[in-house]
């Protein structure tokens, strides 16, 4: 290992390095929870190493060692990600390579490269996450990087001065940035895609075990927000449909592999609810809509036969869409045989007591509708308890739940109910999604959180079609009107219990409203939103040319404002009235002799009299008055008056034409 | 380019306040790299229709544009008060002394001054101050070094742009001959024999006191009188004949011109250091005996200019 020793240097020359490290470290910290922990650790370690060598004049690794280190790190990243063309892989690589670059950072050019790396990491962070809560962090990082540029270009700049300078400059630049943001034309689509399949977000998946929904129950992350164009459905109708699950293997429910089926013709009953849903990024393909949506909102989305909206791609960015839904439908046609087979299928073995129960209830019930009532009655009167902490279930999960533990929540009840219905020969399916939502008055929308995840059942009844039934509502009727966490105070985590305080709740609601605004107006400001905004500004059917001209004009105007503001400090201040009057006097007297720059008023007077003795009586008193006003003892109460009198006297002064004046005047 | 700028701006008569039309501005290499970075960011932001990335890009674009204005403002209105180059001896290094002024309320940081073949000299001007910079100039040979122009520039505050201007001030640095040579000083000339006879050989004679004038040697000041709160007086002596010398170019006939000039310069320097009276005789120039810094400069300047074309003087 070769080592290059560096001399210890004083504080001023270390300052740029310190700022360089800070700008880079800021970039690393923005990704600290996204890249593998070891990568962030290595980057921070390299920063510490560089600073240590600078302060204590230690050694650097030589070129060979650095090259080897770089190669090793690339290989490790490749092994970990199997690609370098992903956001996470690219960011990790940038982090490590820039960290190595830091080791050979000596001159201003290298330091600039490091700041550029800090800015690039900031860009990657913007691409990665766009939450409102992170925006201030991004702002700080931009500030830090700009401050670092100032220090690199002038190492003597103090931290305070650098931050002040960078901050003022960024503030001046912000309106310009905003202007460009609003007017700069957007592209309708992407021309190059970085795969980003490394998002791990909570949300409903396409399988459900009875306990899986409970994991979501404590998550406060918003799932989506809904704004109604007309009246909102009553709380007991707010079932937001997600994946519908058909296949049961004895333990968990699963969505059947896509099998195209025809939509059943049916009547839509009751109110048509018009609304707009704003989905958060979930990295899943489900587009949640109120109970029975009527159309696919987008070419990228399919409305399946079981009324689920499925996107072609996982949602890595927030989206919003308009939808019309009904909460009641009727279908008078019979169910196709294939569909009936699918939704009455059960595993060949297992859960014998549940099957026996279903058979006995079947015998007593006159119709499918009566059977449904009988099963619900069984759940209502069987001593079942609604709880987020059910006991562990054995191999025959449904039997165990129905006859032993009798403790569970929506997943258990929906699952058991559907199994009983199927065992009795009635087509039934499990629907997962969300129930309810919190009304946010500040934004006028319904906020549906992950904690509102729910599972219910749909049963095929002849003459009515698929009918929604919520067995949980039988056991815990309150669940329809209130969120899970309201219902089970003893199971709240400490953080959730805090929400009981009304002002904190209000604060959270406001915060969510701000988030919604941010997502709606900033994060999702795309081509369509841009055109909409321009239209509201009065620019109808904007074509590229007129948009370009408008943009240029506004840009130039703002640049002029900046030029004015920046240059303001160097324009001389307007002279005070006394100075103006004196300047006027001097201009008048310049006919006799111009005042030399070094001459004070009295010396100027002497020079004038030497040249033209007859002006002694008219000019000399004025000059003496000026000297007294400017340099004499202050008399604040009469000063304004005296200056006015002096000004008037100057105005009244008319110099007599002297002998030989034509010559003089011609010269002057 | 230099010619064009000179024609465009004309020759400057200092003091000059730097005006808009003579400032030139271009991005630095860092600025170009920053532009490239912005372009990449724009591509990424547009590609993903990512609002935050786009806003960041546009904010930094605005930042660069504001930085450009600030950079321009940093130099605009700077006063070039004076540029003078004191005379030096050949083979030493001289300097142009540049006085910059800032009569505004804001500081002007990171100013750089540079002569065409010189190194950068940095200066920070606080509000309402002046500062003197020394720009080194090499003086290899005797004669006159003319500084055609000097460059003032700044990349403050962020190093993304550099604004610069050329100041075409007429600065001429006189370079005295290198004082060198070991020939003994010539003895006094015959013309002064009479004076010596009057005062008596070999000794200085007390001639009285006179008021102090600039350039008088401190050794001649009557410090005792000054200690008694008398004005600063100088003791005058009529000098002995051995201290009145004429240095004649023609007498050094055996040497070449530059060596002769060097020897003459040596004598002038030594004679002045010893407080002697001396004069110069050159072909076409004659300087009567005297002493003092002004006289010394006159002699050395004559030696420096000796033989130069009229146009070169």
Dump pLDDT digits (tens) for A240-252: 999 999 888 888 8
Q: Is the pLDDT of residue B304 over 70?
A: yes
Minimal CA separation from B57 to chain A, in Å: 8
* Cα nearest neighbour of A527 on chain B: B49
Of A154, A181, A187, the CB nearest to B55: A181
Angstrom distance (rounded) from CA B299 to CA A612: 44
Give the angle A207-A202-A437 at the CA atoms, nearest 5°. 95
Catalytic residue, chosen from A21, A146, A454, A512, is A454
Minimal CA separation from B20 to chain A, in Å: 12
Annotated active-site residue A21? The verdict is no
Q: Which of residues 236-265 of B touch A (CB under 8 A)?
A: none
* pLDDT of B207: 61
pLDDT band at A192 (very low <50, low <70, confident <90, very high): low
pLDDT band at B197 (very low <50, low <70, confident <90, very high): very low
Token pair 């600025």 is found at: B31
A274 versus A56: the higher-pLDDT residue is A274
pLDDT band at A668 (very low <50, low <70, confident <90, very high): very low
CA-CA-CA-CA torsion sign (A492, A494, A496, A502): positive
Instruction: Provide, as residue numbers in chain B, all residues whose Cβ is less than 8 Å from the Cβ of A174.
Output: 59, 62
Could you read off the pLDDT of A299-338 as tens digits, one per residue? 888 888 888 999 888 887 788 899 999 988 888 888 888 8
Angstrom distance (rounded) from CA A642 to CA A629: 8
Of B34, B66, B106, the CB nearest to A172: B66
Structure tokens at A559: 């640049």
* pLDDT of A499: 59
* Pairing outcome for strands A286-287 and B88-89: unpaired
pLDDT band at A5 (very low <50, low <70, confident <90, very high): very low
Could you read off the pLDDT of A400-414 as tens digits, one per residue? 888 888 888 888 899
* pLDDT of B194: 47
Of A109, A193, A562, the CB nearest to B69: A562
Instruction: Provide, as residue numbers in chain B, all residues whose Cβ is less than 8 Å from the Cβ of A138.
Output: 52, 56
- Quote ipTM for the complex: 0.76
- A112 and B33 in contact by Cβ < 8 A? yes
Closest CA to A196 of A88, A318, A285, A300: A88
Residues A474/A380, Cβ–Cβ less than 8 Å: yes
B39 shares contact with chain A (CB less than 8 Å): no
Angstrom distance (rounded) from CA A249 to CA A563: 72
Q: Which of residues 128-147 of B touch A (CB under 8 A)?
A: none
Instruction: Provide, as residue numbers in chain B, all residues whose Cβ is less than 8 Å from the Cβ of A178.
Output: 55, 58
Compute the average pLDDT of residues A280-284.
83
Residues A384/A473, Cβ–Cβ less than 8 Å: no
* pLDDT of B218: 76
pLDDT band at A594 (very low <50, low <70, confident <90, very high): confident
> Which of B71, B158, B163 is the best mutation test for A, with the most CBs of A within 10 A?
B158
* pLDDT of A1: 35
Could you read off the pLDDT of A43-79 as tens digits, one per residue? 999 999 888 888 876 666 778 888 888 888 888 888 8
CA distances from residue A150 to A105, B110, B160 in whole angstroms, order as listed: 17, 11, 10
Q: Is the pLDDT of residue B203 over 50?
A: no
Residues A327/A273, Cβ–Cβ less than 8 Å: yes
* Cα nearest neighbour of A150 on chain B: B158
- B56 and A142 in contact by Cβ < 8 A? yes
Q: Is the pLDDT of residue B7 over 90?
A: no
Compute the average pLDDT of residues A225-230.
90
Q: Is the pLDDT of residue A98 over 80?
A: yes
Catalytic residue, chosen from A410, A526, A586, A664, is A410
* pLDDT of B241: 45
Percent of chain B predicted with pLDDT > 70: 88
Detail the DSSP E strand segments found in A581-640: none
Minimal CA separation from B22 to chain A, in Å: 16
* pLDDT of A216: 67
B160 shares contact with chain A (CB less than 8 Å): yes
Give the count of Cβ contacts less than 8 A between chain A and B.
155
- A172 and B62 in contact by Cβ < 8 A? yes
Instruction: Provide, as residue numbers in chain A, all residues whose Cβ is less than 8 Å from the Cβ of B32.
Output: none
pLDDT band at B199 (very low <50, low <70, confident <90, very high): very low
* Cα nearest neighbour of B78 on chain A: A570
Closest CA to B233 of B208, B207, B210, B206: B210
Instruction: Provide, as residue numbers in chain B, all residues whose Cβ is less than 8 Å from the Cβ of A113.
Output: 33
Detail the DSSP E strand segments found in A123-175: none
B202 versus A547: the higher-pLDDT residue is A547
- B69 and A563 in contact by Cβ < 8 A? yes
pLDDT band at B195 (very low <50, low <70, confident <90, very high): very low
Minimal CA separation from A239 to chain B, in Å: 32
Minimal CA separation from A153 to chain B, in Å: 5
B156 shares contact with chain A (CB less than 8 Å): yes
Instruction: Provide, as residue numbers in chain B, all residues whose Cβ is less than 8 Å from the Cβ of A142.
Output: 56, 59-60
Detail the DSSP E strand segments found in A377-474: 385-386, 407-408, 428-435, 438-440, 445-449, 453-461, 465-469
Angstrom distance (rounded) from CA A292 to CA A26: 48
Q: What is the mean pLDDT of chain A?
A: 82
Q: Is the pLDDT of residue A154 over 90?
A: no
Looking at A149-163, A625-639, B131-145, which range is the least confident one?
A625-639
Q: Is the pLDDT of residue B201 over 60?
A: no
Could you read off the pLDDT of B40-52 as tens digits, one per residue? 999 988 888 888 9
* pLDDT of A163: 93
Query: Rg for chain B (alpha carbons), in Å?
Result: 29
- B124 and A120 in contact by Cβ < 8 A? no
Instruction: Provide, as residue numbers in chain B, all residues whose Cβ is less than 8 Å from the Cβ of A190.
Output: 47-49
DSSP annotation of A588:
H
- A127 and B58 in contact by Cβ < 8 A? no
> Which of A137, A177, A520 is the best mutation test for B, with the most CBs of B within 10 A?
A177
Annotated active-site residue A556? The verdict is no
Minimal CA separation from B103 to chain A, in Å: 9
Instruction: Provide, as residue numbers in chain B, all residues whose Cβ is less than 8 Å from the Cβ of A157.
Output: 109
Query: Rg for chain A (alpha carbons), in Å?
Result: 39
Percent of chain B predicted with pLDDT > 90: 23
Could you read off the pLDDT of A446-500 as tens digits, one per residue? 888 888 888 999 999 888 889 999 998 888 777 766 665 555 555 555 555 555 6
Q: Is the pLDDT of residue B60 over 60?
A: yes
Distance of CA B288 to the CA centre of its chain: 28
Q: Is the pLDDT of residue A598 over 80?
A: no
- A180 and B58 in contact by Cβ < 8 A? yes
- B62 and A570 in contact by Cβ < 8 A? no
Q: Is the pLDDT of residue A144 over 90?
A: yes
Minimal CA separation from A150 to chain B, in Å: 4
Structure tokens at A271: 């109110």
B25 shares contact with chain A (CB less than 8 Å): no
pLDDT band at B208 (very low <50, low <70, confident <90, very high): low
* Cα nearest neighbour of B29 on chain A: A109
Could you read off the pLDDT of A532-547 as tens digits, one per residue? 887 787 766 656 677 7
Instruction: Provide, as residue numbers in chain A, all residues whose Cβ is less than 8 Å from the Cβ of B53.
Output: 123, 126-127
* pLDDT of B129: 86
Angstrom distance (rounded) from CA B215 to CA B233: 13
Provide the 10 A C-beta neighbour count for residue A487. 16
* pLDDT of A7: 40
Compute the average pLDDT of residues A28-35.
90
Could you read off the pLDDT of A633-651 as tens digits, one per residue? 877 788 888 888 898 988 8
CA distances from residue A243 to A204, A251, A291, A405, A456 in whole angstroms, order as listed: 8, 18, 12, 27, 11
Minimal CA separation from A21 to chain B, in Å: 17
Annotated active-site residue A470? The verdict is yes
Of A122, A154, A175, the CB nearest to B56: A122
Residues B308/B175, Cβ–Cβ less than 8 Å: no
Q: Is the pLDDT of residue A286 over 50?
A: yes
* pLDDT of B289: 85
Residue B80 makes CB contacts below 8 A (sequence gap 6+) with: B12, B14, B15, B16, B17, B18, B98, B99, B100, B101, B152, B167, B169
Minimal CA separation from A536 to chain B, in Å: 20
* pLDDT of B224: 77
Instruction: Provide, as residue numbers in chain A, all residues whose Cβ is less than 8 Å from the Cβ of B63.
Output: 146, 169-170, 173
């Amino acid at each position: 290992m070769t080592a290059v020793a560096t001399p210890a240097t004083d504080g001023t020359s270390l300052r740029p390095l310190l700022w360089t490290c800070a700008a880079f470290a800021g970039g690393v910290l923005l990704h600290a929870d996204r890249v593998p922990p070891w990568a962030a650790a290595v980057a921070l370690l390299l920063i510490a190493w560089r600073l240590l060598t600078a302060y204590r004049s230690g050694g650097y690794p030589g070129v060979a060692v650095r090259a080897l280190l770089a190669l090793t790190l690339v290989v490790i990243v490749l092994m970990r990600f199997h690609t370098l063309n992903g956001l996470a892989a690219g960011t990790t690589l940038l982090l490590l390579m820039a960290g190595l670059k830091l080791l050979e950072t000596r001159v201003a050019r290298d330091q600039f490269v490091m700041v550029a790396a800090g800015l690039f990491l900031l860009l990657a962070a913007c691409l990665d996450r766009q939450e409102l809560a992170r925006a201030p962090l991004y702002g700080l990082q931009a500030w830090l990087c700009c401050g670092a540029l100032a220090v690199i270009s002038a190492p003597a700049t103090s931290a305070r001065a650098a931050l002040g300078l960078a901050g003022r400059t960024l503030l001046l630049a912000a309106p310009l940035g905003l202007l460009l943001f609003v007017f700069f034309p957007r592209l309708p689509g992407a021309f190059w895609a970085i795969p980003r399949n490394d998002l791990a977000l909570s949300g409903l998946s396409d399988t459900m075990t009875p306990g899986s929904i409970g994991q979501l129950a404590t998550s406060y992350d918003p799932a989506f927000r809904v704004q109604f164009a007309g009246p909102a459905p009553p709380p007991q109708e707010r079932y937001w449909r997600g994946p519908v699950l058909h296949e049961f293997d004895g333990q968990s429910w699963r969505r059947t592999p896509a099998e195209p089926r025809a939509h059943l013709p049916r009547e839509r009953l009751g109110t048509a609810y018009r609304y707009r849903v704003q989905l958060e990024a979930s990295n899943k393909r489900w587009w949640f809509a109120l109970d029975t949506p009527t159309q696919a909102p987008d070419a990228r989305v399919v409305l399946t036969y079981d009324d689920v909206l499925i996107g072609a791609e996982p949602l890595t960015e927030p989206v919003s869409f308009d939808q019309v839904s009904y909460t009641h439908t009727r279908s008078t046609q019979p169910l196709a045989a294939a569909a009936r087979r699918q939704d009455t299928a059960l595993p060949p073995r297992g859960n014998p007591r549940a099957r026996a129960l279903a058979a006995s209830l079947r015998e007593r019930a006159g119709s499918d509708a009566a059977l449904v009532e009988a099963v619900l009655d069984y759940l209502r009167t069987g001593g079942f308890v609604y709880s987020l902490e059910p006991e562990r279930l054995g191999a025959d999960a449904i039997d165990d739940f129905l006859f032993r533990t009798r403790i569970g929540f929506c997943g258990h009840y929906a699952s058991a109910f559907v199994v009983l219905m199927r065992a009795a020969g009635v087509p039934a399916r499990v629907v997962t999604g969300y129930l309810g939502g919190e009304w946010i008055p500040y934004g006028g929308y319904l906020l549906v959180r992950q904690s509102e995840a729910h599972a219910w059942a749909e049963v095929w009844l002849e003459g009515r079609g698929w009918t929604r039934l919520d067995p949980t509502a039988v056991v815990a009727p309150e669940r329809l009107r209130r969120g899970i966490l309201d219902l089970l105070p003893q199971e709240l985590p400490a953080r959730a219990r805090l929400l009981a305080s009304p002002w904190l709740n209000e604060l959270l609601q406001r915060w969510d409203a701000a988030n919604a605004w941010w997502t709606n107006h900033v994060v999702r400001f795309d081509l369509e939103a841009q055109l909409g905004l321009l239209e509201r500004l009065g620019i109808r059917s904007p074509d590229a040319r007129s948009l370009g001209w408008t943009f240029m004009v506004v840009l130039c105007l703002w640049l002029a404002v900046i030029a004015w503001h920046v240059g303001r400090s160097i324009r001389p201040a307007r002279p005070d009235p006394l100075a103006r009057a004196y300047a006027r006097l001097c201009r008048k007297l310049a006919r006799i002799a111009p005042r030399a720059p070094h001459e004070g008023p009295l010396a100027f007077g002497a020079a004038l009299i030497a040249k033209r003795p007859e002006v002694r009586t008219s000019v000399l008193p004025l000059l003496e008055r000026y000297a007294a006003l400017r340099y004499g003892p202050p008399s604040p109460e009469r000063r304004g008056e005296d200056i006015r009198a002096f000004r008037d006297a100057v105005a009244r002064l008319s110099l007599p034409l002297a002998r030989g004046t034509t010559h003089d005047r011609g010269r002057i | 380019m230099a010619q064009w700028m000179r024609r465009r701006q004309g020759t400057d008569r200092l003091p000059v306040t730097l005006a808009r039309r003579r400032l030139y501005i271009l991005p630095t290499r860092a600025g170009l790299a920053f532009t490239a970075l912005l372009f990449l960011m724009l591509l990424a932001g547009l590609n993903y229709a990512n609002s935050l990335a786009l806003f960041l890009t546009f904010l930094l674009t605005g930042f660069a544009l504001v930085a450009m204005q600030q950079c321009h403002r940093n130099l605009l209105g700077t006063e070039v008060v004076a540029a003078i180059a004191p005379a030096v001896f050949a083979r030493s290094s001289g300097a142009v002394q540049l006085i910059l002024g800032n009569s505004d309320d804001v500081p002007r940081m990171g100013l750089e001054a540079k002569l065409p073949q010189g190194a950068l000299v940095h200066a920070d001007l606080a509000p309402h101050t002046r500062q003197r910079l020394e720009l080194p100039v090499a003086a290899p040979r005797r004669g006159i070094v003319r500084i055609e122009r000097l460059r003032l520039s700044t990349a403050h505050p962020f190093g993304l742009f550099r604004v610069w201007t050329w100041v075409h001030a007429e600065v001429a640095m006189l370079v005295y001959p290198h004082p060198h040579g070991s020939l003994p000083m010539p003895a006094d000339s015959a013309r002064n024999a009479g004076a010596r006879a009057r005062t008596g050989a070999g000794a200085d004679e007390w001639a009285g006191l006179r008021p102090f004038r600039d350039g008088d040697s401190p050794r001649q000041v009557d410090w005792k009188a000054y200690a008694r709160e008398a004005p600063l007086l100088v003791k005058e002596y009529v000098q002995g004949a051995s201290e009145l010398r004429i240095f004649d170019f023609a007498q050094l006939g055996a040497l070449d011109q530059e060596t002769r000039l060097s020897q003459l310069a040596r004598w002038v320097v030594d004679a002045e250091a010893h407080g002697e009276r001396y004069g110069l005789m050159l072909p076409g120039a004659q300087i009567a005996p005297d002493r003092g810094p002004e006289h010394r400069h006159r002699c050395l300047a004559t030696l420096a200019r000796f033989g130069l074309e009229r146009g070169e003087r």
